[in-house]
């Protein structure tokens, strides 16, 4: 295993932990990490439509490997891994991930859903249930709204959970 493969394995490992996969069944963490460890980041196209098609195909493929077979869980795991890979200078450089930044989705979870729903216009988003029950259609609605919010905040939507993650913790900047 070369250096980049080890970095990708590390990123896959930290992308899916016990809290990320809470309530998704035994074997979910191992199955998700194994899939991500072998995900070929070079195959993600730098054209919007092709990127979306590839992300959708990989989401469907990963969901079939998960014990819960959840589309929402698979998409969350992929989005966390892709964001982490973007933030990792070795993987970002190796796979040219800066070119994909504008297409990457915010990893959805309860905190992000609550944050988006609290934004102006967010009250029209579907009520949040759980990630395991998230449908593709609901995800699309959240992601499209996230694009609008991110534009107002001056960033790409992949970064929005920096505003919403653990916003209930008292650090003086919710």
pLDDT in tens, 24-76: 889 999 999 999 999 999 999 999 999 999 999 999 999 999 999 999 999 99
By mean pLDDT, which of 21-30, 73-82, 141-150 is the weakest?
Answer: 21-30
pLDDT of residue 167: 62
On average, the pLDDT of the chain sits at 93
CA 145, CA 116: separation in Å to the nearest integer?
8
> Above 70 in pLDDT, residue 173?
no
CB 84: neighbour CB atoms within 10 A?
Answer: 18
Model pLDDT, residue 90? 97
Rounded to two decimals, the pTM is 0.93
Q: How far apart are CA 174 and CA 163, in angstroms?
A: 7
Integer Cα distance of 102 and 129 in angstroms: 27
Task: Count other Cβ atoms within 10 Å, centred on residue 6.
Answer: 12
């Amino acid at each position: 295993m070369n250096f980049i493969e080890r970095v990708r394995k590390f990123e896959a490992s930290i992308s899916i932990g016990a809290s990320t996969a809470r309530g998704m069944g035994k074997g979910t963490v191992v199955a998700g990490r194994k899939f991500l460890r072998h995900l070929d980041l070079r195959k993600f196209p730098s054209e919007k439509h092709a990127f979306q098609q590839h992300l959708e195909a990989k989401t469907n493929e990963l969901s079939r490997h998960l014990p819960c077979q959840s589309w929402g869980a698979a998409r969350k795991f992929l989005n966390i891994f892709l964001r982490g890979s973007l933030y990792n200078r070795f993987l970002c450089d190796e796979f040219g991930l800066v070119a994909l930044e504008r297409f990457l989705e915010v990893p959805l979870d309860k905190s992000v859903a609550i944050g988006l729903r609290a934004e102006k216009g967010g009250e029209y988003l579907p009520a949040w249930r759980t990630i395991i029950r998230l449908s593709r259609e609901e995800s699309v609605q959240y992601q499209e709204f996230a694009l609008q919010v991110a534009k107002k905040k001056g960033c790409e939507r992949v970064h929005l959970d920096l505003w919403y993650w653990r916003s209930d913790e008292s650090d003086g900047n919710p």
